[in-house]
Amino acid sequence: MVGSMVLFAHATGISSPWFSVTAGFVLLGIMDIFRPYLSLALPRALHKSSDWERTGIVYRYLGVIAFGRFLQKSPLRYLNRWVYLTSNSRDWEAVRSHVAWSEAAHFWAAVLTIPYLAVALARGWWSVLAALLVFDVAVNLYPILHLRWVRTRLDRALPRRRRLQGHEPNA
């Protein structure tokens, strides 16, 4: 993948919006390939859900919940099939773990694009800056928000599920 990106950079130039968006996708792909070997987590400050996140009002207003329904009903669902509860796989703990990992992967992918955004801004590569910002919103920010919403809902539901299954005493 890295070799292909080097060749692509030679063909299009690193100041190409096509290169910037492709590099973002490649970064996420590399993270996914190394998923079994790579322990990713959010910074502690971003781990806990806020009160406004638990209500879902802001998520509805921003279209995050509609975005999640779109992902669930489209072929994009297969890009990360581990974050869905299905009739075959109802292991809520595993899904919760994959949701947290995926949220962290999108967060770190967005963070890793910041130096490229800074270079694009400093050099006046406005098309690269615009393309990468659109990419970060569509491919990182909205998935992060949706995954936070799902994680928040799972965090609320998991204690009840454990009690019902007899894994935890009534609190």
Q: pLDDT 10s per residue in the chain (171 long)?
A: 888 889 999 999 989 999 989 988 999 999 989 988 988 999 998 988 888 888 899 999 999 999 999 999 999 888 888 888 776 667 888 888 999 999 999 999 999 999 999 999 999 999 999 999 999 999 999 999 999 999 999 988 887 777 776 665 554
User: CA-CA distances (angstroms) from residue 120 to 9, 44, 163?
Assistant: 15, 30, 52
The Cα–Cα gap between 19 and 41 comes to: 27
The Cα–Cα gap between 24 and 41 comes to: 19
Question: Which of 45, 51, 55, 31 is CA-nearest to residue 143?
Answer: 31
The answer to whether the predicted template modeling score (pTM) of the entire model surpasses 0.75 is yes
The Cα–Cα gap between 53 and 132 comes to: 26
Q: What is the pLDDT of residue 89?
A: 61
Q: What is the pLDDT of residue 104?
A: 95
Q: DSSP readout, 140-165? A: IIHHHHHHHHHHHHHHHHHHHHHHHT
Q: What is the pLDDT of residue 42?
A: 92
The Cα–Cα gap between 46 and 31 comes to: 20
Residue type present at position 148: R
The Cα–Cα gap between 52 and 64 comes to: 14
* Six-digit token string for 94: 């595993």
Q: What is the pLDDT of residue 171?
A: 47
Q: Which residue ranges make up each domain of the chain? A: 2-38+51-162
Q: What is the pLDDT of residue 82?
A: 81
